[in-house]
């Protein structure tokens, strides 16, 4: 039986051929989204209880990495769909059936509580504007994080302001044309907004809510470390594509004032070898840290804070290693790598854009170090 990864590999040449279209249109083409749905990747993290594949972590990361080798923007959008899959584990069944009645449903959304929700009979009324809605133009359902408001102020709980997440029908939100950027251009990560929109209780939930978690192991994965592994997988895939491209270019490129192709120059050989080693090591650490947590959640236990910290820095390290390897690939491509006709310039811009995601910011290293020193992390969700 053909695996999801094999289906993606079969689709990859089509995606590569449409990279320019994806980037210039700043969105995923609808027919390509349909083709991706047919691969099965969009439902990989949806619990089996709700018709999903319930795939294991390494299969998911490999699928994303394979997709990112074809196109970074495409893989980024799919990573957000998979994050939406994870939300199903914390929802009421009626909400899951409505949003994920088709397990391959493309979704988008923002985890951060940028909206405001007021509790009313049977649900909440939501108003807000959210940034970075990756893939929002082709999504059918949109997730938004909200603070619950009372008398114009956030409702406070012993843990701080009360936050919730809601699913909004795509037709009910307004998309703002804000995505004019240097990298991951094809993700269409525009701002979006809603005003006084009623959301019934069955579509209101909280990601990470232990009182609603589906018993399947994937639903017990710590939310932030597992999500950031997706970010890192995209970075690793982009870097893999860049190194492969640079290696091909090196077979024929003869730099000015030299008489040998780059592939035969010792300095290039050394740089490529170092990049390959760094990328492979980062990938191995990412997979090891995630599987370390996976083994724990499969016993119905919770991972230790140290395991979480290792997963966080493994993802940050993989993202950094991916960007560094992509820079090396660009340098090996010489001046030709800066032309828009070169895939190397797109890989470089995508890799750099990924490093700007808040989940791999420098504060992650500080908080991980605090954990290793026996202190608590400062981030509210680590």
Pairwise CA distance, residues 134 & 132, whole Å: 6
Pairwise CA distance, residues 243 & 245, whole Å: 5
What angle is formed at CA 297 by the lines to CA 299 and CA 225, rounded to 5 degrees? 165
Q: What is the pLDDT of residues 196-211, one digit of tens each?
A: 999 999 999 999 888 8
Pairwise CA distance, residues 35 & 284, whole Å: 30
Pairwise CA distance, residues 233 & 61, whole Å: 6
Prediction pTM value: 0.97
CATH number of 4-93: 1.10.540.10
Q: Is the pLDDT of residue 381 over 90?
A: no
Q: What is the pLDDT confidence band of residue 343, given thresholds at 50, 70 and 90? A: very high
Q: What are the boundaries of each domain within the chain? A: 4-93, 107-205, 221-372
Q: What is the dihedral of CA 85, 57, 311, 376, to 10 degrees?
A: 50
The percent of residues in the chain predicted with pLDDT above 90, rounded, is 92
Q: What is the pLDDT confidence band of residue 158, given thresholds at 50, 70 and 90? A: confident
Q: Are strands 174-176 and 190-200 parallel, antiparallel or unpaired?
A: antiparallel
Question: What does the DSSP assignment read for 234-255?
Answer: HHHHHHHHHHHHHHHHHTT---
Question: What does the DSSP assignment read for 52-119?
Answer: -----HHHHHHHHHHHHHH-HHHHHHHHHHHHHHHHGGGS-HHHHHHHSSSTT--EEEEEEEEEEEEE
Q: What is the pLDDT of residues 71-99, one digit of tens each?
A: 999 999 999 999 999 899 999 999 999 99
Contacts of 270 (CB under 8 A, 6+ apart): none
Q: Is the pLDDT of residue 230 over 80?
A: yes
Partnered with residue 153 across adjacent β-strands are 150
Q: Is the pLDDT of residue 212 over 90?
A: no
Average pLDDT over residues 331-358: 97
Pairwise CA distance, residues 205 & 218, whole Å: 17
Q: Which CATH superfamily is domain 107-205 in?
A: Butyryl-CoA Dehydrogenase, subunit A, domain 2 (2.40.110.10)
Q: Is the pLDDT of residue 329 over 90?
A: yes
Q: Is the pLDDT of residue 213 over 80?
A: no
Q: Is the pLDDT of residue 129 over 80?
A: yes
CB-CB neighbours of 260 under 10 Å:
10
> Could you tell me the fold of the domain covering 221-372?
Butyryl-CoA Dehydrogenase, subunit A; domain 3 (1.20.140)
Q: What is the pLDDT confidence band of residue 20, given thresholds at 50, 70 and 90? A: very high
Partnered with residue 129 across adjacent β-strands are 193
Q: Is the pLDDT of residue 3 over 90?
A: yes
pLDDT recorded at residue 255: 92
Q: What is the pLDDT confidence band of residue 159, given thresholds at 50, 70 and 90? A: confident
Q: What is the pLDDT of residues 263-321, one digit of tens each?
A: 999 999 999 999 999 999 999 999 999 999 999 999 989 999 999 999 999 999 999 99
The yes-or-no answer to whether 4-93 and 221-372 have a common fold is: no
Q: Is the pLDDT of residue 13 over 90?
A: yes
Average pLDDT over residues 121-144: 97
């Amino acid at each position: 039986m053909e695996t999801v990864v094999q289906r993606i590999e079969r689709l990859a040449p089509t995606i590569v051929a449409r990279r320019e279209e994806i980037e210039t249109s700043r969105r995923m083409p609808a027919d390509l989204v349909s083709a991706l749905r047919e691969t099965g990747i969009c439902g990989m993290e949806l619990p089996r209880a709700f018709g999903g594949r319930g795939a294991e972590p390494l299969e998911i990361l490999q699928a994303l990495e394979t997709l990112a080798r074809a196109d970074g923007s495409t893989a980024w959008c799919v990573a957000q769909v998979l994050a939406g899959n994870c939300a199903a584990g914390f929802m009421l069944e009626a909400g899951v059936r409505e949003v994920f009645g088709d397990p391959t449903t493309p979704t988008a959304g923002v985890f951060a509580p940028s909206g405001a929700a007021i509790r009313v009979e049977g649900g909440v009324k939501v108003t807000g504007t959210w940034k970075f809605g990756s893939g929002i133009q082709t999504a059918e359902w949109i997730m938004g994080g909200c603070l619950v408001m009372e008398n114009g102020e956030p409702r406070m709980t012993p843990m701080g302001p009360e936050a919730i997440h809601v699913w909004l029908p795509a037709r009910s939100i307004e998309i703002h044309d804000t995505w004019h950027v240097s990298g991951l251009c094809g993700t269409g990560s525009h701002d979006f907004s809603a005003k006084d929109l009623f959301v019934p209780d069955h579509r209101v939930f909280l990601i990470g809510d232990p009182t609603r978690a589906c018993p399947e192991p994937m639903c017990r994965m710590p939310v932030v470390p597992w999500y950031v592994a997706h970010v890192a997988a995209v970075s690793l895939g982009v870097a893999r594509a860049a190194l492969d491209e640079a290696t091909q270019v090196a077979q024929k490129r003869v730099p000015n004032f030299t008489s040998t192709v780059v592939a035969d120059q010792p300095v290039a050989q050394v740089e490529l070898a170092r990049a390959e080693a760094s990328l492979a090591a980062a990938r191995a650490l990412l997979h090891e840290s995630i599987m370390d947590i996976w083994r724990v959640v499969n016993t119905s236990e919770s991972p230790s804070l140290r395991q979480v910290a290792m997963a966080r820095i493994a993802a940050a390290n993989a993202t950094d290693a991916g960007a560094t390897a992509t820079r090396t690939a660009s340098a090996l491509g010489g001046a030709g790598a800066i032309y828009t006709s070169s895939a190397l310039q797109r890989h470089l811009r995508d890799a750099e854009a990924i490093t700007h995601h808040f989940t791999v910011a420098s504060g992650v290293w500080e908080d991980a170090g605090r954990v290793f020193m026996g202190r608590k992390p400062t981030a509210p969700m680590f």
